[in-house]
Amino acid sequence: MDLFAENIKGFVLEEQAFWMNVSQFPNMTIQDLPFLARLMAERYVDGFFKISDPRTSNWPLMNNPIPTILMVLTYLYVIMFLGPRLMANRKPFKLREVLVVYNGFQVLLSSYMMYEHLASGWFWDYSYKCQPVDYSNSEKAMRMARLCWIYYISKLTEFADTVFFVMRKKDSQVTFLHVYHHSLTPMETWILTRFIAGGHGTLQNLINNFVHIFLYFYYMVAAMGPEYQKYIWWKKHLTTVQLVQFMIVFAHSAQLLFNDCGYPQFMGLLLMLHSLIFFVLFANFYYQTFTAKKNKKAPQKEIKVE
């Protein structure tokens, strides 16, 4: 049994004992509720640290989730309220050079992280069937843990995607799918780094890095100007690759339900739910962008011919 599973089991046993003790005092009154609430808060904070990964606990932004939550809330406030208000009476910013540099940076960062995922385990050592987390301080285990933290930081940098849309008044790009994705992934990756920095779930990070290499390369070329549009005819195929990504993650995560290697099965369920939700959202985007628009254009062409 791995460290995470042992800590979870120990925490559950302690909770059972705690609630058994509480049940021995049936005469508690409403005046005792503040004390009980404070006691419960202290216990769950203590439990939070017990089941977390001690290797990453002191890394920047990893001590507790509050800074990440505040950054996500600030992001939502800026893109949904402050940004549109500031841009209401202004012309869109022209950020051609900034976008080329930013998207080029994301291509390089995604390439680096993809290589590190392969070198840290997925190319040689990791099992695609079921891979536990290595909580040791070995060189390879720490390399994967550090990569999980870098991956988390990369999701914070992607807030800039939406900020640039707002600054350029590309309101149609700030969709529910886009905002949902960019506000959820920082929290997911924080949990990954704080509790399970490595193992089975990191395959989705590897695949995501692969997809993002092409995604940000597409954005980079698109930012270069209209004369380069002829080189990015493959947008439809990029969305197809994203759909395949979620299908692979779903199937890979489902293996945890039938194989026990010490990796938390409930994380497999969360990854399955996560990939299913994104598959539905991206499938709807694919339909609205490529199928529905194509069907609308078809009658117009027939009328023109007549």
Reading the block at residue 162, the tokens are 């939406």
Q: What would the pLDDT profile of 63-80 be if each residue is shown by its tens digit?
A: 999 999 999 999 999 999
Whether the pLDDT of residue 231 is over 80: the answer is yes
pLDDT at 155: 97
Main-chain phi, psi angles of 270, to 5 degrees: -65, -40
pLDDT at 301: 39
Q: What would the pLDDT profile of 160-173 be if each residue is shown by its tens digit?
A: 999 999 999 999 89
Catalytic machinery residues: 181
Q: Which of 173, 186, 261 is nearest to 219 (CA)?
A: 173
Residue 92 CA to residue 87 CA, distance in Å, equals 8
In percent, the amount of the chain with pLDDT more than 70 equals: 79
pLDDT at 138: 94
Residue 87 CA to residue 134 CA, distance in Å, equals 48
- The residue that leads in pLDDT, 1 or 251, is 251
pLDDT at 235: 87
Residue 109 CA to residue 117 CA, distance in Å, equals 12
Reading the block at residue 194, the tokens are 């704080």
